[in-house]
Amino acid sequence: MKIKHYGDAGTLELKNHINEDGSLLQYLQFPAIEKTGIATHAFSTRIGGASKGIWSTMNLSFTRGDDPKDAYENFHRYAVLFGVPDEKIVLPYQTHTVNVRVVTEEDGGKGFTRERDYTDVDGLITNIPGLVLGVFAADCVPLLFVDPVHKAIGASHSGWRGTVNRMGKVTIEKMKEIYGTDPKDILCAIGPSICRKCYEVSEDVALQFKKEFPGHEEDIMVDDGFNSDGEHKFHLDLWAANKVVLEDAGVKTENISLTDICTNCNPELLFSHRFTKGQRGNNGAFIMLNF
């Protein structure tokens, strides 16, 4: 399979892992995050799961219509990849909010091996080693955070709503409040998601971004004018917008790892809501504090 990259190909590295049944699981990593040594992370691909049909094969969702046993097995395979029991995975309840939950040892397994006792959570943070935080996306932007000084991590889901409401900044501010994180110390990852070329939005969405990102309009969107139906359309760059959010929150530019892989451009590798018109599974982004 040939992966379509943007910019410096190889920013994200494709890694291999052998499942318990001998099959191949493939995932993506940013070298800068792994080099810290204190955190392990992975962005899932479609390769190496148990799901079939439109969910093939690594669907990481219990809400897309997939066989729950197959979805469970897929999450289990990522638990094995991280070297932890299933009960150490913690999942959000994503509804396009900017709510961030502080994850403790008592949250282990929530959303996977047992029911969640929370709703409307699109971000997770923790300083507990051995807990795997996960978020889901299929064109939206997964964000990962590592504070190597205070040994804390985070994972957030940022679609266009989360981005215009600065989910990245909200997550960092929560880490600062709870763990004393200094934004200048944080390493951030903007994970695989839809690129500007593929992401057409309506005028009402564009106007919200113009309002919230003054001075950055040309950096984050292209005005396409009016289409044949008289609709004013734009192409939105969620990668650039989230980079602005993180920089405005105090993260150093050199500490931001930016995806070079688009979900819509790589439908064999990653799930894309737009490419499949909603007939798809979910990609996952996972991060764990090692010690």
Average pLDDT, the chain: 97
The DSSP output letter for 150 is T
Cα gap 186→262, rounded to integer Å: 24
- The mean per-residue pLDDT over the stretch 283-290 comes to 99
Can you give the pLDDT at residue 71?
99
Q: What is the DSSP string of 24-48?
A: EEEEEE-HHHHTTSSEEEEEE-STT
* pLDDT for residue 120: 99
Percent of the chain with pLDDT over 70: 99
Instruction: Report pLDDT digits (tens) over 203-218.
Output: 999 999 999 999 999 9
pLDDT above 60 (res 13): yes
pLDDT above 80: residue 5: yes
Strands 187-190 and 200-202, by their bridges, are unpaired
What does the pLDDT look like over 66-124, one tens digit per residue?
999 999 999 999 999 999 999 999 999 999 999 999 999 999 999 999 999 999 999 99
Angle at 12 between CA 73 and CA 276, to 5 degrees: 55
Q: What is the pLDDT of residue 7?
A: 64
Report pTM: 0.97
Q: What is the DSSP letter of 178?
A: H
> Domains in the chain, start-ordered, CATH in brackets?
13-191+245-289 (3.60.140.10)
- pLDDT higher at 228 or 272: 272
8 pLDDT higher than 60: no
Cα-trace Rg, the chain: 18
Q: What is the mean pLDDT of residues 234-253?
A: 98
Average the pLDDT over 149-166 and give the result: 99
**Looking at the predicted structure, is the pLDDT value of residue 227 above 70?**
yes
First to last CA, the chain: 36
**pLDDT average, residue stretch 27-39:** 97
Beta strands in the chain, from DSSP E residues, in sequence order = 13-18, 24-29, 39-44, 89-90, 100-102, 123-126, 132-137, 141-147, 152-158, 187-190, 200-202, 221-226, 232-236, 256-258, 283-289
Give DSSP secondary structure letters for 16-28.
EEE-TTS-EEEEE
Per-residue pLDDT for 6 more than 90? no
> Closest by alpha carbon to 30, among 172, 135, 138, 143?
143
**9 pLDDT above the threshold of 90:** no
Say whether pLDDT at 177 is over 80: yes
